[in-house]
Structure 1
Amino acid sequence: MQLILVRHPQPLIAPGVCYGRSDLAVAPEQLAQTLVALTATLPRGLPLYSSPLQRCATLATQLAAPLQSPAPLLDARIAEIDFGDWELRPWDDIPRADIDAWAADLVHYRPGGGESVLQMAGRIAAFHADLQRQQRDAIVICHAGAMRLLLACHAGLAPADMAMQAAQNPHQIAYGATLTLQS
């Protein structure tokens, strides 16, 4: 089974602002560039799974026809982490003590009262298990956090270990980038 993970295009948000579950649009020119690049490289006819957040869902919907794929299946389990009341706040405005508390417990702490990395890892593991049962290749349009957790899950890690690995390793996944997982 081959899973091709795709990160969404860059969303319309100022640098230095915390966002995860917030539903942000993408600049039309960014979307167009990403569509051209992905249409040229992704395989045809595979099912598309997408986070329901518009920065992913819009890309998935517009990829379906050129990739000769069925309409994308939107799955909330692959949405980005929920930062609670940190969402859409400048990182510099979040109290240092709160950020330090998160740094002290990257796996279990719920930033802004939202979702812990462990909670996110649980839903990502459930999504991955469903894909494994289907035993078919697929394209998954999602977020850097989801991609890092899917990579850890695909390596056979349990949710707590997935969360620890993802939380301890900063991502280097560019907007519109792909990552292929083989099993």
Structure 2
Amino acid sequence: MHLYLVRHPRPIVAANTCYGRADLAVAAEELAAARASLLPVLPKNALLFSSPLRRCSELTESLAQTLGCPTPTYDERLAEMHFGDWEMRTWDDIPRAAVNAWARDMVGYQPGGGESVLQVAQRVRAFRDELTTLNVEHAIVICHAGTIRLLAACEHGLSIPEMALYAAQKPHKIRYGELLVVDC
């Protein structure tokens, strides 16, 4: 299966803001730019999966009909990590000791009382394992940088804890609206 992993367009949010599960909108021009760059390279009539968060679902809805995809599937397992009470706070406003605690335990620590990377890895792996049972040639997944990193880590044959560590330690360079194709 060819898995087309798409990061959502840039959301409307102030710079230096911690956000994960916050349900942020996307400016019309950002949505149009992402759509224009993706339409020529995404497969037609593929299954389409998406995080239910607006920054993903808006792009999903704008692509689905043009690509001739069946009704998109919105799956909570594709949502970004929940940062608990860190959500929508500036990084400078989050106590340094808390950020340092997360840095010491990137896999198990739950930032702001939200989710750990390990918890996110478990739900993302469950999605990916279910997806592979569908026996399709192409699938498009519109989601978040963290989710994409974990989905890509699935292809290395790692255990869930190893997958979480791999994704947590590897800095991402996934641009908004970027496409990554993974062969499963």
- Normalised TM-score (structure 2): 0.98
Q: CA separation in 2, counterparts of 1:21 and 1:7?
A: 15
The superposition leaves residues 139-176 of structure 1 with CA deviations (integer Å, 9 ceiling, x where unpaired) of 00000000000001122211101110111111000000
Q: What is the percentage of aligned positions where both structures have the same residue?
A: 55
Q: Which residue of 1 aligns with 2:104?
A: 104
- How far apart, in 1, do the equivalents of 2:21 and 2:158 lie? 24
Q: Which runs of 5+ in 1 are unaligned?
A: none
Question: Any gaps of 5 or more consecutive residues in structure 2?
Answer: none
Instruction: Indicate the SS of the match to 2:17.
Output: coil
Q: In 1, Cα distance between the equivalents of 2:71 and 2:142?
A: 13
Amino acid in the other structure paired with 2:179: T
Once superposed, what is the RMSD of the aligned Cα atoms? Answer: 0.7
- Give the aligned residue type for 1:36: A
Q: Distance in 2 between matches of 1:46 and 1:154?
A: 20
2-side partners of 1:58 and 1:135: how far apart?
Answer: 27
On the 8 A contact 1:82/1:115 being kept in 2, the answer is yes
Matched, 1:143 2:137: no
**Paired residue for 1:175?**
176
Secondary structure of 1:66 counterpart: helix
* Greater shift in the superposed pair: 104-113 or 39-48: 39-48
Match of 2:94 in 1: 94
Partner of 1:40: 40
Counting only pairs closer than 5 Å after superposition, residues 152-167 of structure 1 correspond to structure 2 as 152-167=153-168
Partner of 2:114: 114
Helix, strand or coil: the match of 2:26?
A: coil
Counterpart residue identity of residue 70, structure 1:
P
Structure 1 residue runs of 4 or more that deviate by more than 4 Å after TM superposition: none
SS at match of 2:3: strand
- Number of paired residues? 183
CA deviation string 1:95-143 (max 9, x = no partner): 0000000000000000000000000000000000001111212000000
Mapping 1:126-137, distance limit 5 Å: 126-136=126-136, 137=138
* Aligned-partner residue type, residue 173 of structure 1: I
**Does 92-101 or 152-161 show the bigger shift?**
152-161
Structure-1-length-normalised TM-score:
0.98
